[in-house]
Every structure is written in structure tokens, then in C-alpha cells.
Structure 1
Amino acid sequence: MNASNDAKADLKRYLQSTRSALLWKLEGLSERQMREPHTPTGMNLLGIVKHCANVEVGYFGETFGREWPHPEQVVTEAQWSQDTQADWFATAAESSEDIVDLYLRIWAFADETIDALPLDAEGTVAHWPEGRNTVTLHQMLIHVLTDVTRHAGHADIIREQTDGDTGLSQNNTNMPDDVDWPAYVEKLRQLAIASDAQTPAAAADDRARKQPLRQQ
């Protein structure tokens, strides 16, 4: 295996790990819990998965001349023109099983593109500005990995807010076992309160005291 194939295998492995972690964040929750918005902009777990599915089907499909065989299952241009948030929530007609199954099938579709093409294979992102819309598979792997990883982080926070469940992945929580979390949170809260009480002048004096002395 040459260096290019090694790099592609690494990127694909990290992408798959992040995909799996994202879906794991849905396990054990009710339909309502998966759909409940948690931020002022409506971020919700099932919507994150639907968004990532639509991201992958476009960047690993149309970009490289491949059409998803079931266009009615993803958000269409017409739907986006009517609602720019159309890929960020499951409709009343879509169940969590529908969304998860769609993403699993899009994984396989995307992986076919990744496996078939070299990293320097060129494609075109139709909705990107002219002059930067010609891309390579390498770029798209990094772009999608970055996007899915970012949203997996959103899912981490939403899941913890929902039922307190945490962890990096199903087989690796990556969380210490010996922390008194309520006490830790209270410690951070008190630090925040103390920082709010500090006046701008006092903060400036404090920063000045911490500056290293200049050598003469």
C-alpha cells in the first residue's frame, strides 16, 4: 500500500469512527428526545443525523458525477428553496428509523466513491463559488470529516443535556471515573462568578503582575 492509499484509509477510518459515534448518541432515546430542540437555533439530535446524511450524499455523490438512486429520500433543491433548514429536522412523516437507515445507506454510497477514486481525483461542488468549486477527493474527505466531527460534538452536548449520558464512543467513554462531577461543576461556577466580579482595572493589574520581567 502506498502513502496515498494509507492516507485515504486513515481519513476513511476516522470518518467511520465519527459516523458511528454520532449514531450512538441516539441510542436509548425516545422519538421526542431525539427531535427536541436544545438551542435557540433549533439544534436537535435527529436533525444532526439528517444533515450529515445530506452532506455526505452530495459531496461524495454529485460532486464526483454520481447520483444518489433515491433522490426523493434526501432534501431536494425545491425543499431547500422553501426552507433553508429543511435538512436540520425530521418531518412528521420521517421516523428515527427512517433517518438512521438512510444515513447507513448513504455511508455505503459514499464509501463506494471513496474506495473507487484516488485522493487526487477531481470533482465539482456545484453550489460553491467559481474559482474554488473544483475540488479533489482528498479535500472532500477532510471537509466532510470536519463537518461530521463538529456535529458529533454538538450531539455529545445535547445527549448529556438530555439524560446525562456521556462518552467518546460505545466502547470508550474517555471519561475519568474518579471525578465528583457536581462538585467540579460548582467549582467552575464559582470561578465564573469570581471573574464576573473582577473590575476591568483589577483585571488589568492582575495581568500586569503576571507578565514576566523584562531582562535588562
Structure 2
Amino acid sequence: MAKNIIVTGTSRGIGFELVQLLSKQGHNVLALSRNCKPVNNLNISNVTAFDCDISEEIQLKKVTTFIEENWKQVDVLINNAGSIVNKPFAEISMKEVEDVYRVNVIGVFALTQLVLPHMPKNGHVVTISSMGGVQGSMKFPGLSAYSSSKAAVITLTELLAEEYKETGPSFNVLALGAVQTEMLEEAFPGYKAPTTPEEMAAYIAEFSLNANKFYNGKLLQVSNSTP
């Protein structure tokens, strides 16, 4: 049965692959990113894409309008958008820290808050985190803003699962290891990851559609390598 699915961070990498995969499976997809051109160029009938910076409250109003006018209900929300800065701790400006947190934490907070009233009990909110945000995992110098922001959404997921355990939906978080995306190349130039965006998108799509039957408030480490 076709579901209504929102995916963020869809201009490239895993998000771009997710849009294609989920739409091919017959689902209706709302693709949100700062640059909607890559998705709109695909010209897929069951996909809607518009420019939306999830860290800007005023832009999120477009999402509310779209849901109320077109879908009424959202079955799955995939918080995939991410921002990264790789700099020694002593050199990171507060503006850079704030920019990372606005996308990786506040954007997730704001969009989830906005979508929840439209989600059924069996809905599923999946947030994409990173192994760098997992306590006790290997850490990398230069990623203090990024990895700490990814830790924040792990705890947020656990809190939301508790707060909504009676009414639903379910909330889970995936901490990804290295995937060969443009973002990885920016953070670790020259590093070659063992996992492609297509492979990871297939895993996330399957998890988003079915795992809420088995998990709620859980962190799953989706990693076969270091970093």
C-alpha cells in the first residue's frame, strides 16, 4: 500500500537515492532540500520537491501547507539532512557550530514537531545519525560540532519514543558508518568507504517502512567499518 513519505536532504547522496527508490516502490514522496533541482530534474510523478531550509522556521510553513492541502496524513518521516564542518576545535567559529546544529538538531526538532500532528499511531520517524555520535565509538579530530550534534538526535529519539509511547508514532535512529557520499569526501578527502549511497538507501527505505513493528526508541548502528 502506498505511503506518504517525507525525506530531507535530497539533493545528493543517500537522500537523493531514497527519493528514487521509494517512488519506484509506489510511495508518494515529499523531497525537501535547499536545492530541489536534482530531484525535480528526475521528473517523477509521485514525487514533490521544493526548496526548503529546515533550519528556517518560515520555510517550514510550506511543508505544513503542502501536507494540509495534498496529503492530510504523513506515514513516514526520514530526517536525513545533515551539515558538516571539519576543523580543529580551536578554529571552529560559533557561527559554524550554530549552522551545523541548526540543520542537524534544530531542523530535526522543528520538522518532526510540525509533522507529528499529521502522523498515525503506526507512523514512523527515522532520524539519520552517525557512528561519530555514539558514545564509546571511535572519534575523529575536527568533527566536534558534527559528531556532538549527531549525539543530540540520538537522545532526542529516545525522549520522543517515551513521550509518544501511548499515541505513536514510533521513533528510531540509525547511526551510519562510512558511506561513499559527497559529505564523506568533504570530511575525509580521499577516503573510500565500503558502502555506496544506493546500498545504504535500500537499507534505510526497508527500515523506515517496516521496522516500527519491531523497534521504538532504539539506536541501531549501521556500520561495517571505521570510520
Shorter chain as denominator, the TM-score bin is under 0.3
Compare the two structures and name the one with the higher strand fraction: 2
Compare the two structures and name the one with the higher helix fraction: 1
TM-score, length-scaled by structure 2: 0.26
Structure number with larger C-alpha Rg: 1
TM-score, length-scaled by structure 1: 0.27
